[in-house]
Homo-oligomer: A and B are copies of this chain.
Amino acid sequence: MSAIRLALVGLGKIARDQHLPAIAATPGIELVAVASRSATLDGVAHFATLADLLASGEAIDAVALCTPPQGRRELAGMALSAGKHVLLEKPPGATVSELGPLVAAAQERGRTLFATWHSRFAPAVEPARAFLSEVPPRAVRVTWKEDVRVWHPGQRWIWEPGGLGVFDPAINALSILTAILPRPVFITSAGLDFPSNCAAPIAATLALADAGGLPVRAELDFLQTGPQSWDIVVETDRGTLTLAQGGAVLSLDGQVLSALPETEYRNIYKHFVELVAAGRSDVDLAPLQLVADAFLLGRRTLVAPFHE
């Protein structure tokens, strides 16, 4: 089979840091075009918008959408209507409901829709899932604290409706959590801190549970200076399982069980190539659903305005 001819839509930080090297390293897929209002890439056809690209007749098979989530649905719909496979950066959209029609469109047209959750491809996630399928979790503590000024410079869209605020990083934790726990979890209470000048929260505290009453607590902060935390700690009858560094390192009572090199986006593109070959889609909305439920159930507190 010839390689999938891919167009990248959006050429911001995540596209440059992660997508470009991952695409280059993945057999079966090649970058042939970019749609971006502001940026170009040497040696790759350039268009200002996806609409321009599709109208041009440039031969592409698939698009990867790396623009902010607020416009993702419209772009995905346009690409699917044009018969292209679609890879969505996380979160897959600005709402849960908007994904249903996209899934239906992909199915109708026999195209692949892949809602990626990059953290699920972190190297220690699968070992953690395997461990917890054997040894039941007794309690879970998620600590996801990073400095938005370091990791999201200039990304004003994060504070707009649909931008998710602190849930933009924290949805990574939820994507891991929903992958490694043996049973589905749901939000039982949430506290959300909204800066007075932002439409999205800057910190949150969540309580979750599963049908068996497993207690899960999550502390989320977007103003963490000093050491950054992307950790999930699970108490079990065999000891304390710690999935640290965003899913990179797994340890049990301090003894490292798994610490392999990070290859999240290469695994994403490998999976995308496999999905296209198999004619399948992969859309799991559980992480975004938990965020929507946290907003639905959350008690809001106004906090100091955020200025970058």
* Residues in chain A within 8 A of chain B (CB atoms): 73, 77, 94-98, 100-101, 104-105, 161-162, 183-190, 194, 199, 210-211, 286, 289-293, 295-300, 302
Contact = CB atoms under 8 A, between A and B. Distances in A.
Contact of A199 (B95, B186, B211, B299): B299
20 contacts: A94-B296, A95-B293, A97-B185, A97-B187, A97-B286, A97-B289, A97-B293, A100-B186, A101-B211, A104-B211, A105-B211, A161-B189, A161-B190, A161-B297, A161-B298, A162-B296, A199-B299, A295-B296, A295-B298, A302-B302
B97 A186 contact: yes
A162 B294 CA distance: 10
Contacts of A186: 73, 95, 97-98, 100-101
B211 A292 contact: no
A162 B297 contact: yes
A298 B161 CA distance: 6
- Main SS at interface, chain A: mixed
Contacts of A189: 161
A292 B302 contact: no
A300 B199 contact: yes
B289 A96 contact: yes
A252 B197 CA distance: 45
A97 B100 CA distance: 16
* Among all A-B residue pairs, the 9 with the closest Cβ atoms: A97-B186, A95-B293, A101-B211, A98-B186, A292-B292, A295-B295, A292-B296, A295-B296, A161-B299
Of A77, A97, A161, A293, most B-chain CB atoms within 10 Å: A97
Nearest to A98: B186
Nearest to A209: B98
A184 B101 CA distance: 7
Given A183-B101, A211-B101, A96 B293 contact: yes
Contacts of A199: 299-300
Query: Which one of A190, A194, A295 has the highest number of Cβ atoms from chain B below 10 Å of its Cβ?
Result: A295
